[in-house]
Amino acid sequence: MTTRDLPELSPTERSNTASEGLESRTTLEILEIMNREDARVASAVAERLPAIRDAVDAIVDRVGRGGRLIYLGAGTSGRMAMMEAAEAPPTFGVAADIVIGVIAGGTSAVGSAREGAEDDAEGGAAEVERLEVGRDDVLAGVSASGRTPFVLAAVAEAQARGALTIGVCCDDQAPLAAATDIPICPLVGAEILAGSTRLKAGTAQKLVLNMLTTVAMIRLGRVHGNLMVDVRPTNAKLRERARRIVAEITGAADADVSRALTQADWSARAAILMLSRGLTADEARTVLHEVEKADV
């Protein structure tokens, strides 16, 4: 009997008949198999768009009233959680405590695998306690198999505290799908290397997390059209991007754009107000502050 014949196995652990005998294949043949399997991921995510929509709307509601979005996982899923959270402040200008990433085993597990940490159920619950998760928060548990004890315990503790929970996994029959308010379960099937969920499952999770953060921030007013007006220009590339954004929206000359950005401490949004309304930097900051207070 092969692993593919065992129905109790999670889909992410089963053997993929399309990739049998990999060691006897040519390099190109292996790449073609991998590429065909990867092509299944986007359509699997597309089938879950209604659930992703519901999750985005819930995030917008809770973050809009002062809550937080917490991504939590172990192993590859935890690294996805950490990466997604880390990109939110520089991309959307939100504070670092609005979108939070948690990985089993702590931040050292990002660069060095700590496989045993995923079995630490008490650790998952403790992380939720540490963050003082409450009714306005959203906790998204990320687990390829949907069976990770660290994640399941964190979800249970978050629900007990009144938080809304989202489950991102690749098995709609998994405990995580049943345990969360909004399960998002793209069914990507078995990996070309049985159980290596950094492959299709990891790609699916990244696509889903990208959607949750990006669309929620769009709905929360953190962009202008398709431009990142709240980008934090902390390096030369990002400062050039800020210049392009301000110039595209205002139509101002390069010299005026650079002058406004410098006076506005490189806030693209403030520079846009200065150039479009003839405001000083202080006046633009006051307007933005009033808008932020009105949105809370």
The per-residue pLDDT for 30 is: 94
Residue 226's SS3 state is: coil
Domain limit, last residue, from 174, 192, 219: 219
Q: Going along the chain, which residue ranges are E strands?
A: 69-73, 99-103, 138-142, 164-168, 182-184
**Judgement on whether residues 104 and 206 belong to the same structural domain of the protein:** yes
The per-residue pLDDT for 294 is: 59
Q: How many domains does the chain have?
A: 2
**Judgement on whether residues 154 and 56 belong to the same structural domain of the protein:** yes
Q: Is residue 4 part of a domain?
A: no
Residue 248, CA atoms < 13 Å, CB-side half-sphere: 14
Assess whether 87 carries a catalytic annotation.
yes
- Confidence grade of residue 1 (pLDDT, cut at 50, 70, 90): very low
Q: What is the mean pLDDT of residues 193-199?
A: 89
**Is residue 74 scored above 50 in pLDDT?**
yes
Interval 171-190: pLDDT, tens: 999 999 999 999 999 999 98
Q: Is residue 25 part of a domain?
A: no
- Confidence grade of residue 2 (pLDDT, cut at 50, 70, 90): very low
Out of 13, 37, 84, 118, which one is annotated catalytic? Answer: 118
- Confidence grade of residue 161 (pLDDT, cut at 50, 70, 90): very high
**Judgement on whether residues 119 and 195 belong to the same structural domain of the protein:** yes
DSSP string, 105-116: T-GGGTTS--GG
**Judgement on whether residues 118 and 200 belong to the same structural domain of the protein:** yes
**Is residue 4 scored above 50 in pLDDT?**
no
Interval 257-295: pLDDT, tens: 999 999 999 999 999 999 999 999 999 999 998 877 656
Q: What is the mean pLDDT of residues 89-106?
A: 94
Check the CA dihedral 202-139-100-246 and report its sign.
Answer: positive
Exposed/middle/buried for residue 166 (C-beta within 10 Å: 0-12, 13-18, 19+)? buried
Q: Alpha helix (H) ranges present in 25-142?
A: 27-46, 49-64, 75-92, 121-130
CA angle (228 as vertex; 227, 230 as ends), nearest 5: 140
What is the model's pTM? Answer: 0.90
Tokens of 89: 């402040």
Q: Is residue 188 part of a domain?
A: yes
**Judgement on whether residues 199 and 246 belong to the same structural domain of the protein:** no
Cβ proximity of 76 and 195 under 8 Å:
no
**Judgement on whether residues 126 and 71 belong to the same structural domain of the protein:** yes
Q: Is residue 2 part of a domain?
A: no
Q: How many whole angstroms separate alpha carbon 85 and alpha carbon 112?
A: 19
Instruction: Look up the CATH number of the domain holding residue 70.
Output: 3.40.50.10490
**Judgement on whether residues 161 and 109 belong to the same structural domain of the protein:** yes
**Judgement on whether residues 73 and 98 belong to the same structural domain of the protein:** yes
Provide the residue count of the chain. Answer: 296
Q: Is residue 39 part of a domain?
A: no
Q: Is residue 275 part of a domain?
A: yes
Q: Is residue 228 part of a domain?
A: no
Q: How many whole angstroms separate alpha carbon 58 and alpha carbon 165?
A: 10
Query: Terminus-to-terminus CA distance in the chain, angstroms?
Result: 59
The per-residue pLDDT for 295 is: 61
**Is residue 93 scored above 80 in pLDDT?**
yes
The least confident of 3-17, 43-57, 223-237, 238-252 is: 3-17
The per-residue pLDDT for 293 is: 63
**Judgement on whether residues 118 and 63 belong to the same structural domain of the protein:** yes
Interval 19-70: pLDDT, tens: 888 889 999 999 999 999 999 999 999 999 999 999 999 999 999 999 999 9
Instruction: Look up the CATH number of the domain holding residue 278.
Output: 1.10.8.1080
How much is the mean pLDDT over the chain? 92
Helix (H) or strand (E) holding 194: none
Helix (H) or strand (E) holding 291: helix 281-295
Q: How many whole angstroms separate alpha carbon 102 and alpha carbon 68?
A: 13
Assess whether 115 carries a catalytic annotation.
no
Q: Which domain holds residue 267?
A: 236-295
Q: What is the mean pLDDT of residues 92-113?
A: 90
